[in-house]
Amino acid sequence: MKLARGPLYSILLVCLAGAIACGQSDPVGGGPLPTAGSSGASAGGSGAGSGGTSGSASAGAAGVVLGGAPSAGAAGAAAGAGGSSGVSGGAGGGLATGSGCTAAGTLCWDFEGGALPTGWSAYRNEFEGQLLVDNSKAHQGTYSLHAKGLKGGTEGAQGGPKKTIRFNLPAAFGPALWGRMWLFTSVVPMSHSGLFNARYARPNTTDTAIEKLDWYEVATYTGKYMSIWHPPEPPGFPEWVKVSGTPGVANDWVCLEWFFDGANGNAPQAADPRVWLNGTELTWPMEFVFSEPPTTVRPVQEKATNFSLLEVGVYLYQGLPGGSDTWIDQLAVGKERIGCQ
């Protein structure tokens, strides 16, 4: 979603500050803060950009995935063409025990191999910073996925640092996806900062190219947790945006969970995303449609047959001039709730 300007900034500021319900649409596209950025998809999302210039990995880093020169031990970290891991159920990618990863069809990655897990490949790579698997901080064990030194662009203007990886799910994964990650971030930015998304083919199509897929997203925006449903990117809108009243937590580990129900029973559309923070489900005092040109018409959330692709990391659609570090650990997806324990 690109930065919106218009006379309703003050209304949206009241919505955020007072945590009141703002209805289901916003005719100016949902940019509540002229200097805060706004939610949604950048054109293309192809990963093209400056490539990151922050240098080599820190001491103890196991491998640079994006940005900077690979360190010793990084062999294979960015290799692979994004194929599935071949895990059909139970634990996968190095998480052998516990952490809710025993159910059939659950895929888990704890990064304890010290490199990018099998099946994941580099994707977005814009502005300064690195994406590493390193031992600088972990929720459990030794290693985690580290978005290090992300910086670039101007807050409130389009274009921000992006470092992500992607993964193709096993065929016939199904239309419902539960997820879980442990997250530690040094800064909760005002700009839209995506953390995780899952994508699926549009109804009556078989095209699985990433730019052809509908998608659900978990993110932060204006310093609060946010969720979005998008049509294919580009352009990624009109999109249905839900902003929580819960401030993002900085400098501590939190457990984020989500449920994307693309089937939604007999309902005519896919369900809205649901998100939990440390076991408590978030509520959404601010909801709106973003589009360019602006519209008040909520998009049809097309139903899913199978989720097919995951993306994780940090991707900011507006600038982050001050820089930040984010760690993601114990990432998991499955067909039933995984939990934080």
Res 99: pLDDT: 61
Res 92: pLDDT: 37
The series of mean pLDDT values per 10 residues for the chain, 341 residues long, is 34 32 28 31 31 36 70 37 34 44 93 96 97 98 98 92 98 97 97 97 93 98 97 94 98 98 98 98 97 94 98 96 96 97 83
Q: Is the peptide bond before 235 cis (omega within 30 degrees of 0)?
A: yes
Can you tell me which residue has the tokens 């839209």? Answer: 192
Res 62: pLDDT: 64
**Cβ atoms of 226 and 267 closer than 8 Å:** no
Res 150: pLDDT: 98
CA distance 229 to 202: 13
29: nearest Cα among 54, 6, 60: 6
Residue spans per domain, the chain: 9-70+78-334
CA distance 161 to 60: 24
Tokens of 138: 């972990």
Q: Which fold has domain 9-70+78-334?
A: Jelly Rolls (2.60.120)
